[in-house]
C-alpha cells in the first residue's frame, strides 16, 4: 500500500499518518483487552499475566462446570425465544406505524420507543416490582422458569426490531405494492409477495440485534431472575465479583467466538454493506 | 381500426377531495375503445389522481367511473380490468424478469405452460427476448420500463394506464420510446391512457388529449386542434410556445374579425370569432407563424397586404436576444410599444442565422389565419 | 404520494390484526410495570413485604438531600466527561471511515461494531483484567518508569526508586475509562452516518475558497455534522448516565453512580418506595435531555 505512494489528495484524510495512527490506536484500545483475554484463556497459569504455556484445561473446567453450562443454555434459550417474539411484535409495530393513521398515534409511537430510552436499571426495577406484585411463579419447570426474564427481554428488544424494520420500510416504494394489487393480488398476497421480501434484511438485522441485546443483558436479568434461574452474564458477574478464575476467560472466549460467528453469518446473509446500513 | 368507437371508460361528474384540497373537480369524459388517450397538465393539476381513480387506488369523493359498462365504485384494484405502468415502474426488485412478468398470471392461477408462453410473447412484444433471467438491478431504466409494460400487457387488460411513463428516461431514449409506445398500442389494440406533463410527449403519441388544469378539463381535443385552436389562454400557453396580447374586439363578422391590441397593433383574422363586440379578448400568436423581414418595411407591408387590410398584421421591433438552436433560431424582439415578442425562424440554409443580429431593427408580419382569439 | 397513510377506519380488519399484539404487549409488560413503580414512589414501607401507597412525597424529599443530589450531579459529570472523550476520540475515527476507500469502509465499520456486539460484561471484565495491579497497563507504566529511571542515571542523576504497581482500578478514572470503552461505538456510528451524508464537494468548495483543513473542519464539517454530533451525544450520554455495571465493577466506594444507589434500595436496603422515586427522577432527567434535544431540532427546522 505504501509502495506506490501517490501524493495525498486533500480529501484523502484516511491516508494521512496522524489519522491512521488515531484509528489504529482506537482499534487497539477496543480490541487489546479482548485479545489479551482470549489469548490468556489458553494460558497454563492461575494468574493471568505471565505466559506459562498452552493449555485447554480451563475450557475443560468451564465445560464441566454445570452451573456455567446451565447458565449458558439458559441465556441462549432466552435469547432465542425473545428474538422470535420480538421479531413478530416488532415487525407488526413497525408496519402499524408505517401504514396507518389512527387516534393517539403519537402517544403509541412515543411509548414504543420508551423502552429504548428508559435506563436499564429502571426497567429492571419495574420488572422486579411487577413480577413480585402479580406473584409470578418462580418455581416452574424449565423452560417456563425463564418466562419472566424472557418477557422482560422481549419488552426491551422489540422496540429495537420495530425501529430497524421501520427504517427499512421507509425505503419501500409503495407503487410496488400497488402494482401487485393492480395485477390481481389481494391485500395478503401483496404483503407476502412484495412487502415481506423488501423488509427481509430489516428482519434479519432486527433479529440479530434482538439476539445480541438479549444475550448481552445483565442488569434487567439481574433484577428479574429468580433465585434458581441464572443466565450467563449473571453467572459471570458473580464469578468476577467473588473469585476471578481463568474459567471466566475460557467461557468469555467461547461467547466472543460465538458473537463473531453470528456476525459472519449475518455478513453472509446480507453482505458487509447491508450490515453497515442497518446500524 | 376504423369501426365506430365505443367509450370504454366513462367518467361521470367525478370529484376527489383530500381534506380541503380539491384535486379533481367535477370531471366528465369518455375514453374510447382502442384510442391512445393522454391526460396532460402541469404537476399537481389532478391528472395522476384521475388516473389512480381509474386504477382503483383512490376512490372518488363524488361521481362514478364506468369501465366497459360496469360501475367500478365498489370494485377493488385487484379486480379491475385495467392495468397500470407506474411512474417508478415498480418492478419487483427481488424477482427476475420472468417472475415479474408472470406475477399477475400466477396470482390468477393460470397454468404453468400458459404462463411461460404468454410471458415469452409479452417479452417479445416489448423487445426484451433473452432477458428472462435478469434481475431488475442489472437493467437500465428503459429496460425496467419495458418489464413493467410487459407485466401489464401480459394480463391483456381492457385499458392500460401509464403514469408519466417517460419522465425518468433521458431525452434520446424518450423520443424512441414515444415512437415505440404508439407503435405498440396500435399493434395490441388496447386502450392506453397516459398521464404526462410533457407536451411533446402528448402531441406525438395521443389520439386525443385532455388538458387538465386545477382539477378541471381545460380542453379535450386531438393534438393538432389543441395546438392550432387552443380554447383558452391556459391551453395556448401550456401546449407549445406562444405570444399572448390583450386587446379589444373591434370587428366580428362571419368571415372576418379584427382585434385592436395596444401592445401589438391591429390584428386581422380571415374568420369570425363570435365574441361580443368591444369585449376584452386575447390574441395568441405562435412564434413560428411570424415572419421576419430585413431591413426596411416595404417587404413586410407588401406581404401583410396580401390577406389583410392595410396597417393590419404588421409590427416593428428591435432584436434584444437570440438563441441559435440548430434547426431554428429564436429571437426575442422588443416591440415599439415595449412588450416582448418571441419569433422563431427555420434555418433553411446554412447561413440563415447570420441574417439578423442583436439590436437590429426588424419588421414582422403574419398571415390572417395565424392569430387565435381567446375569450378566456 | 400524498395521502400515503391509510386511515385505520377504512381497513379495520388488517389494522386490528396488526396492532393488537404490539399494543397489548406494550401496555401489559411495559406501561403497567412502569405505572406500578410510579405509584410506589409515592408510598412507604408498611411492613416487611408490604408497601402502602399513601401519596406521600417523602421519598422525593429525601432524594433532594445533598447526599443523593451530589450523586446525581456526579453521575451527570461522569456521563458528560465520558461523552466528551468519546466525541473527541470518535470524530477522527468517523472521519477516517467516511473518507476511506469504498471497499474498506464496511470493514472499518465492522471493526467498530464488533466490540459493540460483544457481551458488555465480558468487555468490562477484559478491561479490568488489563488494568489490574498485575495487568499489562501497569506493566507498561512500569516499563516507562524504569526507562525514565535509566535515563536519569545516564545524565548523572539519582535513579528513581523501584516501581510499585499503581491501583488503576476501583476509582473514578477507571469508571470513566470503562464507560468510554463501552460507549465508543455508540458515538462513532451516528457520527459516521452524518458525515457520510455530507456532500464532499462542500469541503472541496471550502478548501477551494482558501480555507485550511482546520478552518474547513470547524466552519463546514462540524456545523453540517451537527445533527450527527447531537445524536451521538444523546446516544452516549443517556446510557452512560444510567450505567450500573461499570461503576459497580470498576468503581470504588466513592465512585458510585445513581444506578448503583437505586440497586442498593432494592437488593440491600429494601426501601422500594425510595428506589422507585430515584428511578423516576432518573427517567425524568432523561426526558429533560431528550426534550432539550428535540427543542433544538425544532429550532433548527424552523430556522430553515
The three three-digit cell numbers of residue C66, written as one number: 445533598
CATH at residue C232: 1.10.3720.10
Angstrom distance (rounded) from CA C296 to CA C290: 10
Q: Averaged over B147-154, what is the pLDDT?
A: 92
Residue B51 near residue B77 (C-beta atoms within 8 A): no
Residue B161 near residue B55 (C-beta atoms within 8 A): yes
**Measured CA distances, C230 to A20, B44, C84, C181, C282 (Å):** 25, 37, 12, 20, 20
Angstrom distance (rounded) from CA A135 to CA A132: 5
**Measured CA distances, B364 to B290, B298, B343 (Å):** 7, 11, 9
Contact A183 B88 (CB under 8 A): no
pLDDT at position B136:
92
Beta carbon pairs, B and C, within 8 Å? 3
At A244, the pLDDT band (50, 70, 90 cuts) reads low
The three three-digit cell numbers of residue B204, written as one number: 406525438
- The sheet with strand B208-213 has its strands ordered as B82-85, B159-163, B191-196, B36-40, B208-213, B216-221
- B125 exposure class (CB count in 10 Å sphere: 0-12, 13-18, 19+): middle
Q: How far is A78 from chain C (nearest CA, A)?
A: 15
pLDDT at position B169:
81
Q: Which domain holds residue C257?
A: 71-132+168-303
Residue of C11, C23, C25 to mutate, interface with A, max A Cβ within 10 Å: C25
Contact B92 A173 (CB under 8 A): no
Q: What is the pLDDT of residues B211-222, one digit of tens each?
A: 999 999 999 999
User: Does A184 lie at the interface with B, CB-CB under 8 angstroms?
Assistant: yes
Provide the domain count of chain C.
1
C163 lies in a domain? Answer: no
User: Does A274 lie at the interface with B, CB-CB under 8 angstroms?
Assistant: no
Domain boundaries, chain B: 7-237, 243-374
Contact A183 B103 (CB under 8 A): yes
Using the predicted structure, report yes or no on whether residue A273 has a pLDDT greater than 90: no
Using the predicted structure, report yes or no on whether residue A171 has a pLDDT greater than 80: yes
Q: Is the entire prediction scored with pTM above 0.95?
A: no
C24 lies in a domain? Answer: no
Q: How far is C3 from chain B (nearest CA, A)?
A: 8
DSSP string, B76-101: -GGGSSEEEE-TT----TTS-HHHHH
Q: How far is CA B77 from the centre of its chain?
A: 27
Angstrom distance (rounded) from CA C29 to CA B20: 41
Residue A125 near residue C276 (C-beta atoms within 8 A): yes
Question: Helical H runs in B126-231?
Answer: 141-153, 171-188, 199-205, 223-228
Strands (E), chain A: 100-101
Using the predicted structure, report yes or no on whether residue B31 has a pLDDT greater than 90: yes
Q: Averaged over A140-153, what is the pLDDT?
A: 85
Q: Which of B251-265, B309-323, B345-359, C136-150 has the lowest mean pLDDT?
A: C136-150
* Residues 6 or more apart in contact with residue A205 via CB below 8 angstroms: A164, A168, A266, A270, A274, A275, A278, A279
Q: How far is B198 from chain A (nearest CA, A)?
A: 22
Query: Tell me, what DSSP letter sits at residue B157?
Result: -
Which residue on chain B is closest to A198 by alpha carbon?
Answer: B94
User: Does A171 lie at the interface with C, CB-CB under 8 angstroms?
Assistant: no
Q: Averaged over B46-59, what is the pLDDT?
A: 90
Q: Which domain holds residue A95?
A: 59-278
Q: What is the pLDDT of residues C106-162, one digit of tens each?
A: 888 888 888 888 888 888 888 888 887 777 777 788 888 888 888 888 887 777 777
| Complex ipTM value | 0.85
CATH at residue A115: 1.10.3720.10
Instruction: Please give, one letter per residue, the 3-state secondary structure of B304-336.
Output: HHCCCCCCECEEEEEEEEEEECCCEEEEEEEEC
* Residues 6 or more apart in contact with residue C138 via CB below 8 angstroms: C131, C132, C165, C166, C168
Provide the domain count of chain A.
1
**What residues does A192 pair with on adjacent strands?**
none
pLDDT at position A279:
42
Residues of A in contact with C25 (CB under 8 A): 89, 154-155, 158
Helix (H) or strand (E) segment spanning residue B221: strand B216-221
DSSP string, B8-60: EEEEEEEEEEETTEEEEEEEEEEEETT-EEEEE--TTSSHHHHHHHHHTSS--
Residue B108 near residue B151 (C-beta atoms within 8 A): no
Using the predicted structure, report yes or no on whether residue B298 has a pLDDT greater than 80: no
Question: What CATH superfamily classification does B7-237 receive?
Answer: P-loop containing nucleotide triphosphate hydrolases (3.40.50.300)
Q: Averaged over A43-62, what is the pLDDT?
A: 78
Residue B361 near residue B318 (C-beta atoms within 8 A): yes
pLDDT at position C101:
81
Angstrom distance (rounded) from CA A250 to CA A63: 9
User: Does A101 lie at the interface with B, CB-CB under 8 angstroms?
Assistant: no
- The beta-carbon neighbor of B77 closest among A176, A182, A198 is A182
The three three-digit cell numbers of residue C284, written as one number: 425524568
A19 lies in a domain? Answer: no
Residue of B87, B94, B110 to mutate, interface with A, max A Cβ within 10 Å: B94
Residues of B in contact with C3 (CB under 8 A): 18, 58
* Residue C105 or residue A154, greater confidence: A154
The three three-digit cell numbers of residue C239, written as one number: 446510557
Q: How far is C41 from chain B (nearest CA, A)?
A: 46
**Measured CA distances, C26 to A112, A126, A261, C64 (Å):** 7, 14, 32, 32
Hey, which chains touch C, using 3+ CB pairs under 8 Å? A, B
Pick the CATH number of B243-374 from 2.10.240.10, 2.40.40.20, 3.30.479.30, 2.40.50.100: 2.40.50.100
Q: Averaged over B346-355, what is the pLDDT?
A: 84
Q: Averaged over B130-142, what is the pLDDT?
A: 90
Using the predicted structure, report yes or no on whether residue B187 has a pLDDT greater than 80: yes
**What residues does C52 pair with on adjacent strands?**
C44
Contact B86 A183 (CB under 8 A): no
C220 lies in a domain? Answer: yes
Low-confidence ranges of chain C (pLDDT < 70): 1-4, 47-49, 303-304
C195 lies in a domain? Answer: yes
Contact A155 C30 (CB under 8 A): yes
Question: Helical H runs in A100-195?
Answer: 105-117, 120-133, 147-170, 174-182, 187-190
pLDDT at position A271:
59
* DSSP SS3 for A111: helix
Amino acid at each position: 500500500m505504501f509502495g506506490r505512494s501517490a501524493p495525498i489528495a486533500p480529501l484523502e484524510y484516511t491516508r494521512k499518518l496522524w489519522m491512521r495512527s488515531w484509528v489504529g490506536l482506537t482499534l487497539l484500545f477496543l480490541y487489546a483487552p479482548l485479545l489479551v483475554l482470549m489469548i490468556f484463556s489458553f494460558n497454563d497459569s492461575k494468574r493471568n499475566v505471565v505466559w506459562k504455556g498452552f493449555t485447554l484445561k480451563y475450557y475443560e473446567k468451564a465445560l464441566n462446570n454445570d452451573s456455567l453450562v446451565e447458565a449458558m443454555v439458559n441465556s441462549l434459550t432466552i435469547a432465542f425465544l425473545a428474538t422470535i417474539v420480538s421479531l413478530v411484535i416488532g415487525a407488526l409495530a413497525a408496519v402499524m406505524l408505517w401504514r396507518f393513521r389512527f387516534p393517539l398515534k403519537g402517544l403509541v409511537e412515543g411509548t414504543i420507543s420508551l423502552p429504548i430510552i428508559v435506563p436499564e436499571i429502571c426497567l429492571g426495577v419495574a420488572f422486579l416490582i411487577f413480577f413480585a406484585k402479580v406473584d409470578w411463579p418462580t418455581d416452574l419447570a424449565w423452560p417456563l422458569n425463564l418466562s419472566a426474564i424472557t418477557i422482560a427481554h422481549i419488552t426491551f428488544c422489540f422496540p429495537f426490531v420495530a425501529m430497524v424494520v421501520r427504517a427499512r420500510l421507509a425505503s419501500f416504494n409503495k407503487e410496488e405494492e400497488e402494482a401487485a394489487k393492480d395485477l390481481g393480488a389481494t391485500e395478503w398476497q401483496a404483503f407476502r409477495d412484495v412487502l415481506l421480501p423488501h423488509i427481509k434484511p430489516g428482519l434479519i438485522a432486527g433479529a440479530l440485534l434482538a439476539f445480541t441485546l438479549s444475550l448481552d443483558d445483565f442488569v434487567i436479568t439481574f433484577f428479574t431472575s429468580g433465585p434458581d434461574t441464572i443466565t450467563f452474564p449473571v453467572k459471570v458477574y458473580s464469578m468476577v465479583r467473588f473469585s476471578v478464575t481463568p474459567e471466566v476467560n475460557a467461557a468469555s472466549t467461547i461467547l466472543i467466538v460465538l458473537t463473531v460467528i453470528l456476525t459472519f453469518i449475518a455478513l453472509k446473509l446480507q453482505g458487509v454493506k447491508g450490515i453497515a446500513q442497518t446500524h | 381500426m376504423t369501426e365506430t368507437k365505443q367509450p370504454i371508460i366513462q367518467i361521470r361528474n367525478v370529484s376527489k377531495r383530500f381534506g380541503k384540497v380539491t384535486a379533481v373537480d367535477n370531471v366528465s369524459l369518455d375514453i374510447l375503445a382502442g384510442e391512445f388517450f393522454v391526460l396532460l397538465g402541469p404537476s399537481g393539476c389532478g391528472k395522476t389522481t384521475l388516473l389512480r381513480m381509474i386504477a382503483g387506488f383512490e376512490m372518488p369523493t363524488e361521481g362514478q367511473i364506468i369501465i366497459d359498462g360496469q360501475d367500478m365504485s365498489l370494485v377493488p384494484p385487484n379486480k379491475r380490468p385495467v392495468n397500470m405502468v407506474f411512474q417508478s415502474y415498480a418492478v419487483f426488485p427481488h424477482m427476475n424478469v420472468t417472475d415479474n412478468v408472470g406475477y399477475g398470471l400466477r396470482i390468477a392461477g393460470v397454468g404453468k405452460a400458459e404462463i411461460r408462453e404468454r410471458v415469452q410473447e409479452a417479452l417479445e412484444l416489448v423487445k426484451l427476448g433473452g432477458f428472462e433471467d435478469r434481475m431488475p438491478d442489472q437493467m437500465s431504466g428503459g429496460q425496467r420500463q419495458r418489464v413493467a409494460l410487459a407485466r401489464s400487457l401480459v394480463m391483456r387488460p381492457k385499458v392500460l394506464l401509464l403514469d408519466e411513463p417517460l419522465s425518468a428516461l433521458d431525452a434520446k431514449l424518450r423520443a424512441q420510446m414515444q415512437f415505440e409506445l404508439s407503435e405498440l398500442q396500435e399493434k395490441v389494440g388496447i386502450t392506453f391512457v397516459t398521464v404526462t406533463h410533457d407536451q411533446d410527449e402528448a402531441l406525438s403519441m395521443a389520439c386525443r388529449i385532455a388538458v387538465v388544469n386545477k382539477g378541471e378539463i381545460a380542453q379535450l381535443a386531438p393534438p393538432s386542434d389543441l395546438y392550432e385552436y387552443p380554447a383558452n389562454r391556459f391551453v395556448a400557453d401550456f401546449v407549445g410556445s406562444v405570444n399572448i396580447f390583450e386587446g379589444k374586439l373591434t370587428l366580428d363578422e362571419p368571415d372576418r374579425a379584427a382585434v385592436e391590441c395596444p401592445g401589438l397593433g391591429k390584428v386581422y383574422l380571415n374568420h369570425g370569432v363570435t365574441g361580443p363586440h368591444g369585449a376584452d379578448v386575447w390574441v395568441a400568436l405562435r412564434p413560428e407563424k411570424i415572419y421576419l423581414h430585413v431591413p426596411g418595411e416595404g417587404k413586410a407591408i407588401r406581404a401583410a397586404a396580401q390577406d389583410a387590410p392595410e396597417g393590419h398584421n404588421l409590427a416593428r421591433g428591435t432584436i434584444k436576444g437570440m438563441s441559435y438552436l440548430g434547426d431554428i433560431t429564436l429571437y426575442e424582439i422588443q416591440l415599439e410599444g415595449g412588450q416582448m415578442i418571441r419569433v422563431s425562424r427555420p434555418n433553411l440554409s446554412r447561413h440563415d442565422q447570420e441574417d439578423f443580429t442583436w439590436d437590429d431593427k426588424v419588421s414582422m408580419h403574419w398571415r390572417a389565419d395565424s392569430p387565435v382569439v381567446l375569450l378566456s | 404520494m400524498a395521502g400515503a397513510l391509510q386511515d385505520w377506519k377504512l381497513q379495520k380488519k388488517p389494522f386490528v390484526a396488526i396492532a393488537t399484539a404490539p399494543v397489548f404487549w406494550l401496555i401489559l409488560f411495559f406501561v403497567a410495570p412502569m405505572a406500578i413503580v410510579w405509584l410506589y414512589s409515592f408510598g412507604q414501607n408498611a411492613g416487611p413485604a408490604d408497601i402502602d401507597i399513601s401519596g406521600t412525597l417523602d421519598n422525593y424529599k429525601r432524594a433532594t438531600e445533598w447526599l443523593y443530589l451530589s450523586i446525581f450531579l456526579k453521575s451527570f459529570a461522569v456521563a458528560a466527561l465520558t461523552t466528551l472523550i468519546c466525541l473527541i476520540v470518535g470524530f477522527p475515527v468517523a472521519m477516517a471511515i467516511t473518507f476511506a476507500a469504498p471497499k474498506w469502509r464496511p470493514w472499518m465499520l465492522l471493526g467498530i461494531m464488533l466490540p459493540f456486539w460483544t457481551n458488555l460484561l465480558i468487555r468490562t471484565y477484559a478491561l479490568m483484567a488489563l488494568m489490574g495491579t498485575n495487568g499489562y497497563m501497569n506493566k507498561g507504566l512500569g516499563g516507562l518508569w524504569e526507562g525514565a529511571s535509566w535515563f536519569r542515571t545516564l545524565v548523572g542523576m539519582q535513579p528513581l526508586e523501584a516501581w510499585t504497581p499503581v491501583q488503576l482500578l476501583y476509582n473514578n478514572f477507571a469508571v470513566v475509562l470503562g464507560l468510554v470503552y463501552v460507549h465508543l461505538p455508540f458515538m462513532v456510528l451516528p457520527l459516521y452516518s452524518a458525515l457520510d451524508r455530507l456532500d464532499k464537494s462542500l469541503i472541496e468548495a471550502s478548501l477551494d475558497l482558501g480555507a485550511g483543513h482546520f478552518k474547513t473542519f470547524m466552519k463546514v464539517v462540524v456545523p453540517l455534522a451537527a445533527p450527527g454530533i447531537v445524536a451521538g451525544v444523546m446516544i452516549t450520554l443517556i446510557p452512560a448516565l444510567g450505567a450500573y455495571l461499570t461503576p459497580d465493577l470498576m468503581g470504588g466506594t466513592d465512585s458510585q453512580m445513581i444506578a448503583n444507589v437505586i440497586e442498593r434500595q432494592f437488593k440491600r436496603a429494601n426501601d422500594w418506595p425510595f428506589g422507585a422515586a430515584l428511578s423516576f427522577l432518573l427517567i425524568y432527567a432523561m426526558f429533560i435531555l431528550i426534550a432539550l434535544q428535540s427543542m433544538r431540532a425544532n429550532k433548527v427546522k424552523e430556522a430553515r
